[in-house]
Structure 1
Amino acid sequence: MGASGAVTRSTLRQQIADALSDEVLAGRLRQGREFTVKQIAEQYGVSATPVREALFDLSAQGLLESDQHRGFRVREFGVADYRSMVEARTLVIDGVIRDIFFAPRPSAAHVAAYRDCMVSVRRRAQEAARAALSGDLDILIGYDLRFWRELGAIAGNPYINDFLHRLRVQAWVFAVPYLRHDARARDWLWNRHPDLVAAITAGDRDGVRAVMDDYSRHALTWADRLAAGELEHPGHAAPPAAHEPGGGSGDGPGGEPAAPRP
């Protein structure tokens, strides 16, 4: 295969992975749903190779589980998993903030990069908070993930940033089915992104710590509510319908029109 063919396949692979990731995050491709490479390839009208590669990529990210006999399955997370995600990201974020935002003598180059980055981060924070306050879950997820990813990029360690991004994606996958079926969901959408940006910009160590403590406490309090059985989990896999993988024809893997993102 020539170079252009390799680029095309690689791009298609990423588009399929992005589209399926969006389906999982939106809750349209439910936790526990099983499907094969052939089914997804037929849904998108592409060959099996980029689909297989995309599914293995999502498995590596912890969103899917693979079985050589049954294909792939959307990973299911429980309340204990969610708690562990929150605890892990809290420990890592604390270290990043302590070492990066409050370094004793940051270099001039770091200060310049920090200021440039915070302009975009501030915009993300405002959009995320606005979506949370309005209860727009789809918009919130996108801006929340971008906000934390851009904020984490200031640390300059892509391995830490990728790890934290993976945890947040998994946490959203767990949370979305509950939030979509909860009349009080807006009360449980954290919206203090701008407060964190303001505290970081002001160099307010105590303020940053207070907002981050609230971020973790908010998530764990919500987990306590779930553990107490206040909400049933509506997001587990149901028998495949005619428009879902394994159940006949359809537009997207979760029954909604879907296509790889451009």
Structure 2
Amino acid sequence: MPGSGSGAVTRNTLRQQIADALRDEVLAGRLPPGTEFTVKQIAEQYEVSATPVREALVDLSAQGLLESVQHRGFRVRTYTVDDFRGMIEARTLILDGIFRCLVERGVAPGAAEMLVSVRRRGEEAQRAARSGSLEVLIGYDLRFWRELSGLVGNPYISEFLHRIRIQCWVFSVPHLQGSPELRTALWDGHNELVDAVTLADADEVRRLVRAYNQHGLDWAARL
């Protein structure tokens, strides 16, 4: 049918825009864990039809940000400290594989330009972490890890790690907001990790990744 393809693209684009907007609201702490809402409420808020909203909420549920509440709509998922430890364990296994590939077989074609971009993300993330700018850090940190894992050239690995990292932030944000020790709670070794990957220094990469994951576990143990 004429025009049906264009309509599908428009709806899918709107679906992604809504999903991105709601995810950003969750990561900024403006939709804290346990917040409930309906498709109708979100559709009215964004002044759109219910269909792309429902699809966006289902997508976010599949990513672990939301959970469906029978007959009531959706709720921002609440993660426990044990959940967070499990996320770090999964993240550790994925990172070990990613960096083993990067060090042993090298990075994907065109990696030199990609590393320049990764380093810029790392510099911004490091600057935000040291200044305690949580919302700014989250944006750059997610881009940093997505681009760094993308150097392997396997989109399935990159996407899986990205999803876990979002879940880690969903857990962390409510605990970090307003924390008097915010700066010390935020990891800021992004540039050192890029340096180690660039030099293919396997021992340094392993040391930094271990320190990164241990930093998260030590922080969670104090909650």
TM range (shorter): over 0.9
Deviations 1:23-57 (A, max 9, x none): 00011101011111001111111111110011001
Residue in structure 2 matching 1:178, options 175, 178, 196: 175
CA distance in 2, matches of 1:112, 1:178: 40
Match of 2:66 in 1: 64
Structure 1 consecutive aligned stretches of length 4 or more whose deviation exceeds 6 Å: none
CA gap of 1:140–1:192, structure 2 versus 1, over 3 A, is same
CA distance in 2, matches of 1:220, 1:50: 38
Q: Distance in 2 between matches of 1:2 and 1:53?
A: 18
Q: Are residue 218 (structure 1) and residue 215 (structure 2) matched?
A: yes
Instruction: Report the secondary structure of 1:72's partner residue.
Output: strand
Q: What are the superposed Cα offsets for residues 127-160 of structure 1, whole Å, 9 maximum, x if unpaired?
A: 1000000111111000000000000011111111
Choose which of 89, 104, 124 in structure 1 pairs with 2:121: 124
What is the root-mean-square deviation of aligned Cα atoms in Å?
A: 1.2
Q: 2:146 is matched with which residue? A: 149
Identity of aligned pairs, percent? 62
Secondary structure in structure 2 of the residue aligned to 1:54: helix
2:57 matched to which residue of 1? 55
The aligned counterpart of 1:254 is none
Partner of 1:208: 205
Structure 1 residues 64-213: aligned runs within 5 Å: 64-103=66-105, 106=106, 112-213=109-210
Matches within 5 A, 1:10-25: 10-25=12-27
For normalisation by structure 2, the TM-score amounts to 0.96
Alpha-carbon shift at residue 68 of structure 1 (Å): 3.7
Structure 2 distance, partners of 1:96, 1:11, is 30
Using the TM superposition, give the Cα deviation of residue 111 of structure 1 relative to its aligned residue in structure 2, in angstroms.
5.9
Structure 1 residues 111 and 150: alpha-carbon distance in aligned structure 2, compared to 1, 3 A threshold: closer
TM-score by length of 1: 0.82
Question: In structure 2, how many angstroms separate the alpha carbons of the residues matched to 1:4 and 1:163?
Answer: 30
Q: Residues of 2 paired with 1:102 and 1:151: CA distance?
A: 15
Q: Do the aligned partners of residues 145 and 111 (structure 1) sit closer, same or farther apart at CA in structure 2, a change above 3 Å counting? A: closer
Paired letter, 1:141: I
Aligned-partner Cα distance in 2 for 1:8–1:98: 40
Q: Can you list the C-alpha shifts for 1:63-98, whole angstroms capped at 9, x where unaligned?
A: 011134111111110100001101110011101111
User: 2:110 is paired with a residue of what secondary structure?
Assistant: helix
Report the structure, 1 or 2, having the larger helix content: 2
| Kept in 1: contact 2:42–2:53 (CA 8 A) | yes
Distance 1:111 1:31 in 2: 38
Amino acid across the alignment from 1:145 = L
Q: Give aligned pairs, total.
A: 221
Q: Which residue of 1 aligns with 2:39?
A: 37
Structure index of larger Rg: 1
Find the counterpart in structure 2 of residue 244 from structure 1: none
Change over 3 Å in CA distance of 1:161–1:42 after alignment to 2: same
Instruction: Output the CA distance in 2 between the equivalents of 1:52 and 1:15.
Output: 13
Kept in 1: contact 2:108–2:151 (CA 8 A):
no
Report SS of the residue matched to 2:222: helix
Q: Which runs of 5+ in 2 are unaligned?
A: none
